[in-house]
């Protein structure tokens, strides 16, 4: 990763700490997914539907007022 890779993130308001946190979260999930794939962990039932099915099931979350 080079400085020019960070410029778009900074243009969207990310500071160094936010970028670091994002990198750590992405790396964690990447590692967990690799472990789950290697161990052939089955997906949870709610993970096997289409994106449309997921959105329909979570519609109340999308429409909720986020508050102040």
Domain ranges of the chain: 3-63
Looking at per-residue pLDDT, the higher value among 66 and 46 belongs to 46
What value does the CA radius of gyration of the chain take, rounded to a whole number of Å? 17
Burial of 19 (0-12, 13-18, 19+ CB in 10 A): middle
Residue 66 in this model has a pLDDT that exceeds 60: no
Query: Mind listing the pLDDT tens digit for each residue in 5-20?
Result: 999 999 999 999 999 9
Q: Is 49 helix (H, G, I), strand (E, B) or coil?
A: coil
HSE of 44, CA atoms in CB hemisphere, 13 A: 3
What is the predicted pLDDT for the residue at 67? 53
What's the average model confidence in pLDDT over 18-24? 95
């Amino acid at each position: 990763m080079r400085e020019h890779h960070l410029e778009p993130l900074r243009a969207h308001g990310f500071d160094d700490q936010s970028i670091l946190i994002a990198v750590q979260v992405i790396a964690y999930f990447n590692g967990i997914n690799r472990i789950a794939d290697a161990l052939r962990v089955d997906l949870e039932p709610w993970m096997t539907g289409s994106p449309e099915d997921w959105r329909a099931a979570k519609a109340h979350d999308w429409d909720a007022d986020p508050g102040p």
